[in-house]
Homo-oligomer: A and B are copies of this chain.
Amino acid sequence: MSGGTVTVGEAARLTGVSAKMIRWYEARGLLPPAARSAAGYRHYGEADIRTLQFVRRARDLGFDVEAIGELLALWHDRDRPSAAVKAIAQSRIAELRRRIAALEGMARSLERLAEDCCGDGRPECPILDDLAAGEGKPVKSG
């Protein structure tokens, strides 16, 4: 083989996916079983490395394992309709937007409360008051 094959550790270094996670992805079926040496060591060729880089990038974009599996399948399918890929991306975008909105709501509430808290040595604290009173006052507009 042109490029020579590498062990998990090397593959991890080359791709930024930890050896632990590489094995885990394989066990989960995200990656096909790696080739093994006589002694049982996993070995990765150039194509495997490219796959791992794909996985890493997808992971960095917030796709979960299942979605990455679907993306890999589409990647390998030369006849895929780009609409299928786009659909996955868009549902991920929607999920990300949902989570962002939830966190944003929390952050805004807390910022409002922290603003009202003088934050000195005195015990009066609107933050605790809010937590204690806590009528479902989600974020409101102001």
Contacts and interface: CB of A to CB of B under 8 A. Distances in A.
A122 interface: yes
As for how many copies of this chain the complex holds, the number is 2
Given A82-B119, A100-B100, A106 B71 contact: no
Contacts of A100: 100, 103-104, 107
A38 interface: no
Given A57-B134, A75-B131, A81-B120, 15 more contacts: A71-B128, A71-B131, A74-B125, A75-B128, A78-B123, A80-B128, A82-B117, A82-B122, A82-B125, A85-B125, A87-B119, A89-B110, A89-B127, A96-B107, A103-B103
12 contacts: A53-B134, A57-B134, A58-B131, A62-B110, A79-B123, A80-B123, A81-B122, A82-B119, A85-B128, A97-B107, A99-B103, A100-B107
